[in-house]
Amino acid sequence: MKKFPLLVIALLASVLTRADEGMWLIHQIHQNMADMQAKGLKLSADDIYSASQASLKDAVVLLDDGSCTGGLVSAQGLFFTNHHCGIDAVQSQSTGTNNLLRDGFWAPSKRDELPIPNKTALILVGIEDVTAKILSAVPSTLPNKDYFDGIRKAMEQLEERMAEETGLHIVIRPFFSYNAFYMMKYERYLDVRLVGVPPSSVGNFGGDIDNWRWPRHTGDFCMFRIYTAPDGKPAKHSTDNVPYKPKNYFKISLKGVEENDFTMILGYPGTTHRYATSFEAMHYRDVLAAWRKEAWGAMINVVKQAQAVNPDIKVSYTDKHDYLVNFYQKDTWQASSMYRYNVVERLAAREDSLRAWAAQNPSQRIRYTTTLPVIKGFYDAYRQYHWEEMQGALSLVSFYPVDVYKNLNACDKLIGSILEHGAPQSRLKFWKQDPIRFQAKAIENVLPDIFKNYHPAVDMNLYMVGFGGLLKYMGTCNNAPMLGSLRREPNIQHTFPYYIAGFYERSFFTSEKNLRRLLKNPCRDTLLSDPLFMLYLNYNVVWDSIYAQYNRAEADYKKASQIYTRGLLEMQSNKLHYPDANSTLRLNYGQVMGYHPSDGQYYKPFTTLDGVMEKANPQQEVFHISPKLFELWLGRDYGRYARRDGAMPVCFLTNNDITGGNSGSPVLNANGHLVGIAFDGNSEAMACDFMYEPDKQRTISVDIRYVLFVIDKLANAQNLISEMEIV
Residues labelled catalytic: 84, 220, 663
Count other Cβ atoms within 10 Å, centred on residue 565.
Answer: 23
Q: How many helices (H) and strands (E) does the chain have?
A: 31, 19
Calculate the alpha carbon distances from 556 to 34, 518, 545, 553, 560 in Å: 40, 46, 18, 5, 6
Q: Name 587's bridge partners.
A: 24, 266
Collapsing DSSP to helix, strand or coil, 205 comes out as: coil
Strands 586-591 and 606-608: unpaired
Q: DSSP of 574-612, one letter per residue? A: TS---PPP-SS-EEEEEEB--B--STT--B-SEEEHHHH
Cα angle 408, 412, 414 (rounded to 5 degrees) comes to: 110
Distance separating alpha carbons of residues 450 and 444, to the nearest angstrom: 10
Nearest to 300 by CA among 467, 462, 84: 462
Q: What angle do CA 607, 613, 615 make, to 5 degrees?
A: 80
Phi, psi of 541 (to 5 degrees): -65, -40
Tell me the Ramachandran region of residue 564: left when phi exceeds 0, alpha when psi lies from -120 to 50, beta otherwise.
alpha
**Distance of alpha carbon 137 from alpha carbon 624, whole angstroms:** 59
Helix (H) or strand (E) holding 298: helix 289-309
Say how far apart CA 509 and CA 408 lie, in whole Å. 6
Question: Are 94 and 101 within 8 A, CB to CB?
Answer: yes
Q: How far apart are CA 251 and CA 46, in angstroms?
A: 17
Q: What is the DSSP string of 673-700?
A: -EEEEEEEE-GGGGGGGT---TTT--EE
The pair phi, psi for residue 298, each rounded to 5°, is -65, -40
Please give the backbone phi and psi of residue 677, each rounded to the nearest 5 degrees, phi first.
-130, 120
Are 136 and 5 contacting, i.e. CB atoms less than 8 angstroms apart? no
Q: Do residues 706 and 219 make contact, with C-beta atoms less than 8 angstroms apart?
A: yes
Output the CA angle 29-32-36, nearest 5 degrees.
110
Under DSSP, the state recorded for 66 is T
Residue 507 and residue 532 in contact, taking contact as beta carbons nearer than 8 Å: yes
Handedness of CA 599, 600, 606, 609 (dihedral sign): negative
Pairwise CA distance, residues 181 & 134, whole Å: 7
Residue 61 contacts residue 68 (beta carbons within 8 Å): no
Mapping DSSP to helix (H, G, I), strand (E, B) and coil, where does residue 133 land? Answer: helix
Give Cβ neighbours of residue 134 (< 8 Å, ≥ 6 apart).
151, 154, 155, 158, 172, 181
